[in-house]
Structure 1
Amino acid sequence: MLFSGLGFNVDDKLKKQLNTNKDMIDILINLGNNEVIIVECKTSKEKGYNKFSTVSRQLKSYQKLALHNDLRIVKILLIAPEFSDDFVTDCEMDTEMNLSLITASTMLKIYDSFKQSKYPSFPYVLFRDIVINEERILKALTK
């Protein structure tokens, strides 16, 4: 709902085509021209999201799935309640994925700010940091 509200094309049809019994992408945003954003959501109830190696294997499987289907991955977003310092450090060291981390509360604030902005769709290039900088994005949306 949030990503649709940001003006993104949440493509459930393409997601179903890509998903396998083993690899199931949470959210797939179709940007057109065979470009996608992969979104993985974690909850505080899930154990293991605090271990980057576990999540990394999962996301790399999704990446492989998309690339195998001739899709260009513009960004992989991981949404969770919070991230440990170790998790962030491990993420920063990963050179195989274009991964950004965003907390659920930051995502909600971005959504709320976007609704007040002049943009018809969210400028996804703002998702460029490893850990999404809430203040920078909110400031950019008010310009």
Structure 2
Amino acid sequence: MLIVPADDPGQARADFAGQRIASTKGSTSEMSIKLNKSEPLTFQDTASAYLAVQQGKARGMVANTMTTTKFVNESQTKGKKMRMIQDPMLFQPIGVGMAKDQPALTAKINEALHALDASGELNKIWDKWLGPDTEYKMTRTDKVVPITELKFTPIP
């Protein structure tokens, strides 16, 4: 996700094409900046990338949703206020990796994930680590679905 100073007029990632955007070096965040035809300003760590935006050296910063949400929340009480652009720079689905051609294992994992989702247990786990009472204050909106149902452009 892309975060920018709260007073930045940009509303969508296209508004940041050609602009200097900070990220960590060698990350998918850096790749998303290049794919957006923006100019990456890279750092060894995320905190340095965030500082570059706070100091006006970059128009925004790209990182994962958890990190950007935390920075936006913290910025409301210290430093330059930030906001998140709702148009994701890159969509990276989360999946379970396993050996190919394991239909019984795939079925069991899918069964367990769907059961956790249907019972509300995934929401409880989410809320414990990322929810409204944590520093992230995030709400889970996604559901467990087969990757074939997701609409996204694979990373080149």
Higher CA-based Rg: 2
Normalising by structure 2, we get a TM-score of: 0.29
Normalising by structure 1, we get a TM-score of: 0.31
